[in-house]
Amino acid sequence: MEVLKQVEEKWQKRWEKAKIFEANPDPSKPKFFITVAYPYPNSPQHIGHARTYTLADVYARYMRMRGYNVLLPMAFHYTGTPVLAMAKRLAEKDHELINDFVKVYKVPKEKLKELTDPLAMARYFHEEIREGMKKIGYSIDWRREFTTVDPQYSRFIEWQFHKLLQAGYIKRGSHPVGWCPTDGNPVGQHDTQGDVEPEIGEFTLIKFRFGEWVLPTATLRPETVFGVTNIWLNPKAKYAKVIVNGEKWIISRECVEKLTYQNRKVKVLENFEGEELIGKQAENPATNEKIYILPAEFVDPQNATGVVMSVPGHAPYDYVALENIKGEAAKLMRYGLTSDLLNSINAVSVIEVPHYSEIPASDVVKKMGIKNQTDPKLEDATKEVYRHEFHNGKMRNNTGKYAGLTVIEAKEKVKQDLIAAGKATTMYEILNRPVKCRCGTECVIKIFEDQWFIDYGKQEWKALAHKCLEKMRILPEELRAEYTYVIDWLHEKACARKSGLGTRLPWDKEWIIESLSDSTIYMAYYTIARHIKEYEIQPNQLTDEVFDYIFLGNGNAEAIAEKTGISSDVLKKMRQEFLYFYPLDSRHSAHELIPNHLTFMIFNHTAIFPENLWPRQIVTNGHVTMEGAKMSKSFGNIIPLREGLAKFGADPIRLSVLATAELLQDADFSPSVAKTMRDKLERLYELVAENTKDKKENGKEELTLIDRWMISRLQEHIKKATEAMEKLAVRKAIHTILFELDNDLQWYQKRVKTSEKAAKTRILREILKTQIQMLAPFAPHTCEELWEKMDGKGFVSLTIWPKADETKVDAKAEEGEMLIMNLLEDTLNIIKATRIKPRKVVYYTAASWKWKTYIKALEKSMEEKINQGDLIKELIKDPELKVKAKDIAEFTAKIVDEVNRMPQERKHKLVQIKFVDEKQTLKEAKEFLKNEINAEIIIHEEEDAKRYDPKNRAKAAKPCRPAIYIE
RNA sequence: GCAGGGGUUGCCGAGCCUGGUCAAAGGCGCAGGCUUCAGGAGCCUGUCGCGUAGGCGUUCGUGGGUUCAAAUCCCACCCCCUGCACCA
């Protein structure tokens, strides 16, 4: 481990000193520009964060070895709520968080107080994260680093927003959000107890008439208004008579406050018990029917208006509640409700659904065995009925002009018509309520007025985004559909808040641009960030004209230089550097950002930049789990990156987070995986050490079969690894480079152990060098060290990625080696089955006429399926074979099936190489076989007159399948 | 509901894209052997069933289908995981 640490530091220093990762424009070389979503510095990094960054770094290193001038920069996202919220929690002395920082991440306790200031927190973790990135060996050009609160960056964001505004993509309006009345803040998932996302739903309030009063029944299913049999109120709840925007409403007391948050003027006239209205009649505004107001305890006064219309035909709650009160009619006498009257109320069916009876609600209630209106199973019952009716339901004839429509259509239409006629309105409610804020208050919905939006709903903008997507490479390709979907579905996105760090909206300074909106085109800023620092360009010099010139080529450098005091040379340099590195070649992030950041990036690029500068590729990856479990504070299974690095080393960590999963899947980290990786690297060290001990290197020995086999296999592995890297299938690449190649290498070493040939040193060296090069993007520190040990020139990071040499692919050697492998396996199998302790193993290789026959059969079978008769007829045309007609008949009977079943590819190979010199092959492997089997090995040709063959086995020999005799 | 991922031999996990060389890599666990004073560790062998000759049988979520041939391709179904916004 100590050695590992030293090696890491040694190479990190050397890279830095040689500035090999600082990329400047170089017109003689193709460029490749890679960026990763910049981190929020609101806590230190853990192993999970390492995946995306390591992947991008591996890609950068690979592309560098493919000859590209690669730029990989990094910056820090101070904007918005993440930093703010964390600092706030710390200020509130959140125990969990403090424990986390101190115990898990080892933040010094005395630092904590300082970190309650958001900016101080961001600065602190910024340092921490940057150090981690250096220690894990990312090949980042640090000269371009910036933060999103740098005043120069703010100017860039202001420019961007001016562009969006000019293009007509910014608009203003209102929208509902989850809201904590105590805190006076919007609440998202991480602001709630148990991290519950408040689901916002729009209820239709249908205005049932009750004299001069309105009973606004809240429903998610307005189309069922035709099946209403009664109204439910909770007799034990408190209701209020109120004036809402000039209308007289009766609603639950809890609803009063909610309506005010939804921008309604509410005046309370009188409070009363729900009981008071039971037994009275109201009128359905859709049908003008008179119906009764009945009591139901399932009605929750805290949900929406607390007034519910009853549709027992299609709503399980209503169905059960109705059955319940019919059963206790006596209790209802005091409301003047007789048993006869109650019994006359029956479910009405207004929707037809396949596979259900007239009354779907009753079907489901009976199926689930629900007896009481307070049974929690009613939630599931409701969902089931709703699901089927929504997707498969049709409106019945008793629904007037809506008859025949699907439920999907009718739902919207009924709602719109009722609203248009003044018979309904809407209100928002939290569907999964109660959702509680961390402060303990139950959340409500607030409608925000005058909010600023970026209008991703614009059709012509969507068209541009689609166009950009079409031209982009998406990795993994499976997720392309996801982007298409998101582009279509995106609409107005609130782009500013009133709190947090960040850039103020240039035309309305109360608002601060939130973090998903100030991070969409910043990749362009990397191309000029180093100049801004180097020439100390001030924010006030960075006018919109400057950015127009650099990024869009508008205006005249000299004139702008005059106005801003930035020299025209510098302006031109920035313009050139931007044009050199743009467009962005590859964008990396975890795939949870597809529905927002990544798609926003596409949109914003198309809004601002010309088509040739739109991004070219997006790569996303899954998360990291910890021994199969989700990483989370509450599980206490988070390993901070710096701790991981200290414990396992940079290269093992890099390999671990990439080797266990392809892009789409979650990668599973565990200490044992990291250890395996370290062992693997250590073994490579040993192998290199052993191999370089012996300096003499003879270049002329003749290569044996096994040597040629190893070299041939190497070409295969190079090809496979390269193909995998092109698709960023890093797991496959690592498997090929580190495991499959290694397996072959081990076999090779086992095979040549007994041989004296000096060729093996040279071959081993060739293999190792290639392996080290291919491993270098993944384990750069180890590979630099090994490369140096092997007398490689310069940095391995700057060498050219190996290329498979087709001329070294040796089908004959591979067939020959396969023969040995299979023969060994067969022999061991026989030994196992017979439990013989072998003293002597005799092999008989197939006679040449068998080979001739075999190849002929293969050739013939490549065109069509062969049968024995035709095959024999053709074979005996050959006089040499004709004399053996009887043997041939016997032999062909054995091989016809096998030949017909053989894959085309293998047939090609065999036909191409004509025959394998089995006797020679076996001779070369004789020592090896002897060692493996631990018995004397004797090799004969099948028709060898002097052969030792007591059981007459020789004649069983087949090409590629020598006969075996063991005693 | 929509979209995506997944279900493989005791466990984890490759293979599936590009059908045959797949009883199916590798690791863990388990059993035996070697090494060690011992502990730890390392190395070797075995690990679906049957089998005294390289064989046979059964297996890759379930049920169908295509094919000479299916873990792999197609269809249907069941189960698990993830995302669906104003929250980064």
Nucleotide nearest A83, CA–C1', reads B88
- The span from the first CA to the last CA of chain A, in angstroms, equals 51
pLDDT for the residue A141:
98
Six-digit token string for A547: 């950015």
CA of residue A728 relative to chain centroid, distance:
13
Q: Phi and psi for A517 in degrees, rounded to 5?
A: -100, -15
Q: Please check the confidence at residue A194 and state whether its pLDDT lies above 70.
A: no
Rounded to whole angstroms, the distance from the CA of residue A330 to the C1' of nucleotide B63 is: 55
- Protein residue minimizing CA–C1' distance to B19: A903
Residues A931 and A827 sit within 8 Å (Cβ to Cβ): no
Can you tell me the ipTM of this complex? 0.86
% residues pLDDT > 90 (chain A): 33
Q: Please check the confidence at residue A695 and state whether its pLDDT lies above 70.
A: no
Reference A368, options A352, A357, A356, A384; nearest CA is A384
Tokens 């424009």 belong to A25
Angstrom distances, CA of residue A513 to CA of A507, A543, A905: 11, 19, 60
Tokens 């541009």 belong to A464
Rounded to whole angstroms, the distance from the CA of residue A478 to the C1' of nucleotide B61 is: 23
Reference A440, options A201, A801, A191; nearest CA is A191
Residues A659 and A735 sit within 8 Å (Cβ to Cβ): yes
Q: Please check the confidence at residue A699 and state whether its pLDDT lies above 70.
A: no
* Residue A68: CA count within 13 A, CB half-sphere: 17
- Range with the largest mean pLDDT of A13-22, A260-269, A615-624, A640-649: A13-22
Buried (b) or exposed (e) across A8-24, using 16+ Cβ within 10 A?
A: beebbeebeeeeebbbe
Q: Phi and psi for A768 in degrees, rounded to 5?
A: -60, -45
Nucleotide nearest A965, CA–C1', reads B53
| Average pLDDT in chain A | 87
pLDDT for the residue A454:
92
- Give the pLDDT band of residue A698 (cuts 50, 70, 90): low
pLDDT for the residue A657:
87
Tokens 């702008």 belong to A560
Nucleotide nearest A42, CA–C1', reads B88
Nucleotide nearest A191, CA–C1', reads B87
Q: Please check the confidence at residue A196 and state whether its pLDDT lies above 70.
A: no
Q: Please check the confidence at residue A224 and state whether its pLDDT lies above 80.
A: yes
Q: Average pLDDT, stretch A317-335?
A: 85
Average the pLDDT over each of A58-72, A73-87, A617-631 and give the range with the smallest value. A617-631
- Give the pLDDT band of residue A35 (cuts 50, 70, 90): very high
- Rounded CA separation A337/A323 (Å): 15
pLDDT for the residue A190:
62
Q: Are β-strands A31-36 and A473-475 bridged in parallel, bridged antiparallel, or unpaired?
A: unpaired
The per-residue pLDDT for range A536-557, each reduced to its tens digit, is 999 999 999 999 999 999 999 9
- Protein residue minimizing CA–C1' distance to B3: A482
Tokens 């003689």 belong to A28
Give the predicted TM-score (pTM) of the model: 0.84
Give the gyration radius of chain A's Cα atoms. 38
Rounded to whole angstroms, the distance from the CA of residue A902 to the C1' of nucleotide B22 is: 14
Rounded to whole angstroms, the distance from the CA of residue A540 to the C1' of nucleotide B52 is: 93
Q: Please check the confidence at residue A754 and state whether its pLDDT lies above 80.
A: no
- Range with the largest mean pLDDT of A324-338, A452-466, A757-771: A452-466
Between A374 and A291, the higher pLDDT residue: A291
DSSP-derived 3-state class of residue A488: helix
Q: Please check the confidence at residue A191 and state whether its pLDDT lies above 70.
A: no
- Range with the largest mean pLDDT of A241-250, A378-387, A925-934: A241-250
Covered bases, chain B (protein CB within 7 Å): 1-6, 12-15, 19-21, 25-28, 46, 51-55, 68, 82-88
- Protein residue minimizing CA–C1' distance to B83: A592
Nucleotide nearest A844, CA–C1', reads B54
Angstrom distances, CA of residue A155 to CA of A451, A531, A547, A552: 22, 15, 9, 16
Rounded to whole angstroms, the distance from the CA of residue A899 to the C1' of nucleotide B54 is: 19
- What is the biggest distance separating any 2 CA atoms in chain A, rounded to whole angstroms? 120
Q: Which amino acid is at A858?
A: L
Angstrom distances, CA of residue A906 to CA of A818, A912, A961: 12, 10, 15
DSSP-derived 3-state class of residue A14: helix
pLDDT for the residue A801:
95
Rounded to whole angstroms, the distance from the CA of residue A746 to the C1' of nucleotide B46 is: 21
Between A237 and A746, the higher pLDDT residue: A237
- Rounded CA separation A816/A828 (Å): 19
Q: Which amino acid is at A328?
A: E
Nucleotide nearest A451, CA–C1', reads B86
Q: Please check the confidence at residue A326 and state whether its pLDDT lies above 90.
A: no
DSSP-derived 3-state class of residue A965: strand
Rounded to whole angstroms, the distance from the CA of residue A625 to the C1' of nucleotide B49 is: 37
Angstrom distances, CA of residue A235 to CA of A214, A259, A297, A344, A392: 18, 22, 7, 22, 36
Rounded to whole angstroms, the distance from the CA of residue A903 to the C1' of nucleotide B64 is: 27
Angstrom distances, CA of residue A77 to CA of A119, A134, A497, A673, A926: 11, 18, 16, 32, 66
Between A385 and A532, the higher pLDDT residue: A532
Q: Average pLDDT, stretch A2-26?
A: 94
- Rounded CA separation A339/A330 (Å): 7
- Give the pLDDT band of residue A140 (cuts 50, 70, 90): very high
A844 forms bridges with which residues in the sheet?
A940, A963
Nucleotide nearest A826, CA–C1', reads B54
Q: Please check the confidence at residue A521 and state whether its pLDDT lies above 90.
A: yes
Angstrom distances, CA of residue A420 to CA of A226, A262, A423, A470, A736: 17, 20, 7, 41, 66
Angstrom distances, CA of residue A45 to CA of A5, A79, A650, A781: 20, 18, 14, 21
DSSP-derived 3-state class of residue A53: helix
DSSP 8-class letter at A423: S
Residues A183 and A443 sit within 8 Å (Cβ to Cβ): no
Rounded to whole angstroms, the distance from the CA of residue A465 to the C1' of nucleotide B85 is: 18
- Protein residue minimizing CA–C1' distance to B88: A82
- Give the pLDDT band of residue A508 (cuts 50, 70, 90): very high
- Rounded CA separation A541/A155 (Å): 9
Reference A74, options A18, A122, A41, A36; nearest CA is A36
Q: Please check the confidence at residue A55 and state whether its pLDDT lies above 70.
A: yes
Reference A855, options A844, A866, A841, A869; nearest CA is A866
Q: Please check the confidence at residue A379 and state whether its pLDDT lies above 90.
A: no
The per-residue pLDDT for range A799-845, each reduced to its tens digit, is 999 999 989 988 888 888 888 888 888 888 888 888 777 888 899 99
Average the pLDDT over each of A205-209, A739-743, A904-908 and give the range with the smallest value. A904-908
- Who contacts A98 (Cβ-Cβ below 8 Å, separation ≥6)? A90, A112
Q: Please check the confidence at residue A635 and state whether its pLDDT lies above 70.
A: no
pLDDT for the residue A66:
96
* Residue A2: CA count within 13 A, CB half-sphere: 0
Sign of the C-alpha dihedral computed for residues A585, A588, A594 and A599 taken in this order: negative
Residues A360 and A388 sit within 8 Å (Cβ to Cβ): yes
Between A517 and A366, the higher pLDDT residue: A517
pLDDT for the residue A3:
79
Q: Are β-strands A247-252 and A281-283 bridged in parallel, bridged antiparallel, or unpaired?
A: unpaired
Q: Are β-strands A512-513 and A936-941 bridged in parallel, bridged antiparallel, or unpaired?
A: unpaired
- Range with the largest mean pLDDT of A205-214, A736-745, A853-862: A205-214
pLDDT for the residue A117:
93
Count of CB atoms within 10 A of residue A868's CB? 16
Nucleotide nearest A903, CA–C1', reads B20
The per-residue pLDDT for range A158-174, each reduced to its tens digit, is 999 999 999 999 988 88
The per-residue pLDDT for range A824-837, each reduced to its tens digit, is 888 888 888 887 77
Rounded to whole angstroms, the distance from the CA of residue A350 to the C1' of nucleotide B3 is: 32
Six-digit token string for A42: 């609101």
pLDDT for the residue A389:
78
Long-range contacts made by residues A115-120, C-beta under 8 angstroms, separation at least 24? A115/A87, A115/A90, A116/A87, A116/A90, A116/A91, A117/A87, A118/A83, A118/A84, A118/A86, A118/A87, A118/A501, A119/A78, A119/A149, A119/A501
User: Cis peptide leading into A354, omega within 30 of 0?
Assistant: no
DSSP 8-class letter at A519: S
Q: Please check the confidence at residue A634 and state whether its pLDDT lies above 70.
A: no
